[in-house]
Structure 1
């Protein structure tokens, strides 16, 4: 099962933010995290009952939570960790309660030279807030972005600013004009519809191809997260909602063995970023849950190996989501105008 996904969907499941390969280790990051944790458990450095949470583990590995989640699913399948009546996983089997331990690199047998411990690239420190700021600004039209002024405003080197903008370019948020100047792509209704058409056409196909390769333990964990979220909504963080979107639209689709299909979908994922940065941040949380029940319907179909129904359910989910996103963007445009960053100027085309 792991061999089927190596080097294909996982590269895109991390959306370019994770360096799957390093000069020292060519295995995917989630497998390296799995191996490091498994070794620490076997050696007793992680004691029985120790509480493992995605966030602290991701911090130690300087990664996002997606590869940690995948590593947890594999460790659970192997019986090295278990679920309990609470958040996270416990080391080992049995009925003992959680032991809260301060997770460190030393506890995991890592040091600065260890290939399992990935150092985060410098651009990641500014990326999330920059993405949010530029998504909001894109609602108000095309803008020129000055790389030098961006670096100065964020207190980083020019190369760091350029790397962050290049990442945004890969997602279709930024582009370079004919004079090679950085330009923020405007988020208007026409563009949203174009991106939506790509998702409607390609995501169901990707899910059908991915379905046989999604580990059952990981799929069941995703289903459980959806059920828990549905029970407490709207008492749910924006981060948690983004995680649920990532589960289906990035992680699950990332198991698709057709790399070219996933590359074609990369820019269309910009629509997920729009919702993440508007709902609950600059826009009120919807009174009714926006997608959780629809995601659950997709996973129910996957649970009974009905990939055709899962794909059609996903197609419907994407189709009905477009009017909601367009409406939220329109409300943002009418009710909120962000302060113009010092590194941005309106562009006329």
Structure 2
């Protein structure tokens, strides 16, 4: 058990609740699971699968995957010859128990995720709304009106906007006013050019450090998704994108390279909010087979081929994204939120 998990295990309810107050989602999930394990609510050998855990926390699988990896590092769960993780150490076989909110202490009396930062409650829908709106031009965003529209305090609205700013979805103008950055074709090409140049380099450096078991699990998810497409949720598609472009690349030891890629990965959010939400699922799956080709090369440790396959995947994805955004622009007219005001083009009256 690592220091943070040990601290939670020994803390009372107030200690856990305080620790959960401001930490990232994957850390809060880890801490709730660690507390449940230490208190015996999750028995030794209990099987933990990403999907059921994510359902209980009303999250995607990505933060659950990160939480389970941290618990494995701390010795609280272990892998076995099967999918998922088992609680505790030793040779105990899997116990297929039905996870419940009570087992994880997620009832009203127990410390759970209710202390999540306020911006998380509005962020996902706000990001989608902003991405859709950005397709139609540049808009000024009124922080006060945004807070009023979402029924939150101004600080919560500001926190959400700051996260959008980190992705390059919004920015501040010369008068420090929030502005929605337009998503035009040139911007998409510029962002893709960064990804084409940097992602293969990041993968080449990351490849030796990706745990084989994690790589195998990602490959299995792709194979399962390919078999059932298009019967996939938007969340499942986003998880598959995250596996390759975020999780795998995250093992790159060059942190400055990953920071340089952060804004360019905004394009992943564009696809997430267009495919299956405001745009029909493509008849042909958009990227699963291409991702599988990258993982096949990683499996045989042909890292150069994996990097080149990734580069090709990014190159061929650009026309698809441009086409989807163009179609969205042609057939969709979003409701104009009260907090957004169009910004006139150069030469037009403000």
TM range (shorter): 0.7 to 0.9
Partner of 1:165: 161
Deviation readout 1:79-117 (Å, 9 max, x if unpaired): 735576xx865657677673213144449xx964x9xx7
Q: CA–CA distance in 1 between the matches of 2:37 and 2:148?
A: 45
Q: CA–CA distance in 2 between the matches of 1:160 and 1:201?
A: 36
**Unaligned 5+ residue runs, structure 1?**
3-21
Partner of 1:132: 128
Partner of 2:287: 291
Tell me, yes or no, if structure 1 residue 239 matches structure 2 residue 259: no
Tell me, yes or no, if structure 1 residue 211 matches structure 2 residue 204: no
Partner of 1:348: 344
TM-score, normalised to structure 2, is 0.81
- Superposition deviation, residue 303 in structure 1: 1.1
Alignment of 1:213-228 (within 5 A): 213-228=209-224
- From the superposition, tell whether residues 153 and 71 of structure 1 become closer, same or farther in structure 2 (CA, over 3 Å): closer
- Superposition deviation, residue 67 in structure 1: 3.7
CA RMSD of aligned residues (A): 3.4
Q: CA–CA distance in 1 between the matches of 2:334 and 2:59?
A: 30
Match of 2:270 among 259, 269, 274: 274
Q: CA–CA distance in 2 between the matches of 1:269 and 1:53?
A: 27
Q: Contact 1:139–1:333 (CA<8 Å) still a contact in 2?
A: yes
Partner of 1:156: 152
Q: CA–CA distance in 2 between the matches of 1:330 and 1:61?
A: 35
Match of 1:99 among 82, 87, 97: 97
Higher normalized contact order (CA 8 Å, seq sep 6+, divided by chain length)? 1
**Unaligned 5+ residue runs, structure 2?**
3-17, 346-350
Q: CA–CA distance in 1 between the matches of 2:153 and 2:24?
A: 29
- Superposition deviation, residue 47 in structure 1: 2.6
Partner of 2:348: none
- Superposition deviation, residue 135 in structure 1: 0.4
Q: Contact 1:73–1:221 (CA<8 Å) still a contact in 2?
A: no
State the secondary structure of the residue aligned to 1:80: strand
TM-score, normalised to structure 1, is 0.81
Count of residues in correspondence between the two structures: 322
Q: Contact 1:76–1:217 (CA<8 Å) still a contact in 2?
A: no
- From the superposition, tell whether residues 31 and 158 of structure 1 become closer, same or farther in structure 2 (CA, over 3 Å): closer
- Superposition deviation, residue 28 in structure 1: 9.5
